[in-house]
Amino acid sequence: MIKRTEYYDDPTAPQPNTLVPAASAIIVDDDGAVLLHRRADSELWSIPGGGMEIGESIARTVAREVKEETGLDVAIERLVGIYSDPRFVVAYADGEVRQQFSICFSCRVVGGSLAASDESSEVRFFPSSEVAALPMGPGTRVRLRDFQEGGTTPVIA
């Protein structure tokens, strides 16, 4: 059952009613394969990430979310971008509709074991040649593109 729907530049999208700070991570292994998880709430492939909780830093948010969704411990390497485009909204089955405000980091694995969770039905590294064919939301595609094209200057969108 779909519990989460992403909209980008869609005139039929519902109006946002919340703004939640969030963090996400792009993790690439030594062979250049990117870590993705299949979200349990949408069945789409995504980079790990989620909402910030009161009392935590954004760095702690990304580390916690990666651990919860993939089983891996990570360290931040660099900022990929800050995403706050009001044309991108996420609607949840409970009526919450979020305008995005997400900070995306490039991270490296420092421990843990790859594992699915109640938030992820599958977790695996994909060669870059396979990523384009995977079903995923527009937010994930934009972040992956920015990571691949990016240098040392973060994207502010």
Domain that holds residue 141: 4-156
Count the domains in the chain.
Answer: 1
What is the C-alpha to C-alpha distance for residues 60 and 100, in angstroms, rounded to an integer? Answer: 19
- pTM (predicted TM-score): 0.93
DSSP-derived 3-state class of residue 7: strand
How many C-alpha atoms does 132 have within 13 Å on its Cβ side? 4
pLDDT in tens, 15-69: 999 999 999 999 999 999 999 999 988 899 999 999 999 999 999 999 999 999 9
Q: Are 52 and 23 in contact (CB under 8 A)?
A: yes
Q: Which two tokens stand for residue 78?
A: 């660099």
CATH number at residue 89: 3.90.79.10
Which amino acid is it at 130? E
| Active-site annotation holds for 122 | yes
In the set 53, 56, 122, 130, the catalytic residue is: 122
Which DSSP category does 69 fall into? H
